[in-house]
């Protein structure tokens, strides 16, 4: 089952999986950023719950507008708990994002992925049919 995480308690429950992707964030920093992103960026956080009601994967996404893609949905975060990978949860969550995007009238979904995540890249390209269209660059100031 996929459910959007909205309350502070629900968002905090998602941290147990998100911490495997966003290792630089402690629980307090995670909560602060998620709440701020919800308020200011229309960020949405959804989780996949297994049959026992345990969160096993999470996805965070939000609408964006740029001159190169126009209006689209940006997948900010997508992670499955390490012991739950390769069970189709990422596929289910991305399909959920695609459906949300279509419902809101968007015709594109984009994301970036760390260079070291070769397995994730294969998943995006082969399984989910994403095109590799650019590199993302970052400069810390």
Domain boundaries, the chain: 2-127
16-20: Cβ within 8 A, 24+ apart: 16/55, 16/81, 17/47, 17/55, 17/56, 17/57, 17/58, 17/79, 17/80, 17/81, 18/58, 18/60, 18/77, 18/79, 20/79, 20/81, 20/82
pLDDT value for 111: 97
Give CATH for domain 2-127. Answer: 3.40.630.30
Name 122's Cβ contacts closer than 8 Å, sequence gap at least 6.
none
User: Which tens digits make up the pLDDT trace of 84-94?
Assistant: 999 999 999 99
pLDDT value for 115: 87
Of 12, 16, 5, 13, whose CA–CA distance to 79 is shortest?
Answer: 16
Of 135, 47, 49, 127, whose CA–CA distance to 93 is shortest?
Answer: 47
Q: Is the dihedral of CA 37, 38, 42, 45 positive or negative?
A: positive
pLDDT value for 135: 86
pLDDT value for 25: 98
Neighbours of 133 (CB within 10 A): 8
Name 101's Cβ contacts closer than 8 Å, sequence gap at least 6.
72, 73, 107, 108, 109
pLDDT value for 53: 96
pLDDT value for 139: 92
**Regions in the chain scoring below 50 on pLDDT:** none
DSSP assignment, residue 2? E
């Amino acid at each position: 089952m996929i459910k959007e995480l909205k309350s502070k308690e629900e968002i905090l429950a998602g941290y147990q999986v998100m911490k495997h992707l966003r290792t630089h964030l402690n629980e307090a920093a995670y909560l602060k950023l998620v709440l701020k992103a919800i308020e200011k960026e229309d960020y949405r956080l959804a989780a996949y719950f297994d049959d026992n009601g345990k969160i096993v994967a999470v996805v965070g996404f939000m609408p964006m507008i740029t001159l190169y893609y126009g209006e689209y949905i940006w997948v900010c975060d997508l992670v499955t708990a390490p012991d739950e990978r390769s069970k189709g949860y990422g596929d289910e969550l991305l399909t959920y994002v695609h459906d949300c995007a279509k419902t809101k009238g968007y015709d594109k979904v984009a994301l970036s992925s760390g260079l070291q995540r070769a397995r994730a890249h294969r998943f995006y390209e082969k399984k989910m049919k994403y095109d590799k269209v650019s590199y993302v660059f970052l400069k810390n100031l």
